[in-house]
Amino acid sequence: AKNNGKNRCMMFDEQMTSAFHERFKIEKILREALEYQRFRLLYQPVIDAQTGAIAYFEALIRIQDSSLSPAVFIQVAEESGLIIPIGRWVIQEAICQQRKWIDANYPVKGIAINISGNQFYDENLVAYIANSLDEQKVDPALIEIEITESVLIDNKEKAINIMKKLKEMRIRIALDDFGTGFSSLNYLTFMPVDKIKLDKSLKDKFIRMESIQVMEGIVSVAHGLGLMVVAEGVEEEVEANRLKRVKCDYLQGYLYSRPLRSNDVERLLKIQTNL
C-alpha cells in the first residue's frame, strides 16, 4: 500500500512537471513568434442573417506554420503576461489591414477583435486602440471588441468604465461565448454591450425542435434590451434556417466560411464588388 501511495505521488509529480514543461514550451514559442513576427490573423466572415451578405469579419490569431490552437496559447499568454504585446500586435495588425482594404477600395467591412481578460484590464488598452486608429486614420465605428462575460464579472465597475470609454469612441462591444458561464440575462441590463454572441454549445443544445423556444426566448430578451444577436459555430443549413426563424441577426460558422487569410478575404470582397 505504501508503495502504491508513493507511485501515485510520482505520477502526480510527473504530470505537474510535464504540464509545466508544456507551458514553458508554449511560452517560448510565443516569445519567438513575437520576435520573428510569426503571428498571423485570419478573418472569418459574419453573415447578415437577413441578406446573406458579409456584415463584418472576426479576426482570429494563428502562429505561422503551427497547429497550436489559440484556445491553448492565449491561455498561456494570459498567465505569462505575454498577452499584452500579443494583444497589441492583434490590434495593430487588424487596424492596418483595415487601412489596406480601404486604400484598395474594397467594400469596407468592420473587424471584430477578441480581447481577453488581462488585456482588457490593461490600463493602456483604450489609449493604444485610440492611437492605432488615429495613426491609420481608420474610423472607430469599423471596430468591434469581443470580450467574454467571465472577464466582466471579475471587476464589474472597472469593466463598465472601460466599456464606456470604448463606446464614447464609437467602438462596438460584443459579449462573446454567451451561455457558457454564469450567463444571466440580468447582466445585460447594466453592461453597455451592443451585441451578444451565442456560444456554439448553447446553440448545439437548444437548436433541436423541441427546445428551440429557449433560443427564441434569449434572442427576444436581447432584442428587448436593444442588443443584436450573433449565432456562432453554424455548420448546417438546417441550423441556419432555425436560427433565422428565431430572429438571430448574424450567423457565423463553417457553413459560410472558415477563417480566411487576408488575400482570400480580398478575393471574396472583389467578387462582392463586381456583383
Q: Which residues bind ligand C2E (CB under 6 A)?
A: 44, 59-61, 69-71, 74, 87, 90, 114-116, 146, 176-177, 200, 232-235, 253-254, 259
> Taking the complex as a whole, how short is the minimal distance between the CB of residue 99 and ligand C2E, in angstroms?
18
Strands 143-148 and 110-114: parallel
Report the half-sphere exposure of 184 (CA within 13 A, side-chain side): 7
CB 88, min distance to ligand C2E, A: 11
Please tell me whether residue 98 binds Ca ion under the rule CB under 5 A.
no
- Partner whose binding site includes residue 61, from Ca ion, ligand C2E, none (CB under 5 to 8 Å by kind): ligand C2E
Q: Per CB under 5 A, which of residues 168..207 are in contact with Ca ion?
A: 176-177
Closer CB to Ca ion, residue 33 or residue 112? 112
Nearer to ligand C2E, 179 or 187 (CB): 179
Partner interacting with residue 45 (select from ligand C2E, Ca ion, none; CB below 5-8 Å by kind): none
* 185 CB neighbour count, 10 Å cutoff: 14
Does residue 114 bind Ca ion (CB under 5 A)? Answer: yes
Nearer to ligand C2E, 220 or 244 (CB): 244
118 contacts which partner out of Ca ion, ligand C2E, none, CB within 5 to 8 A by kind? none
For residues 193 and 166, is the Cβ–Cβ distance under 8 A? no
Name the residues that contact Ca ion, by CB under 5 A: 114, 146, 176-177
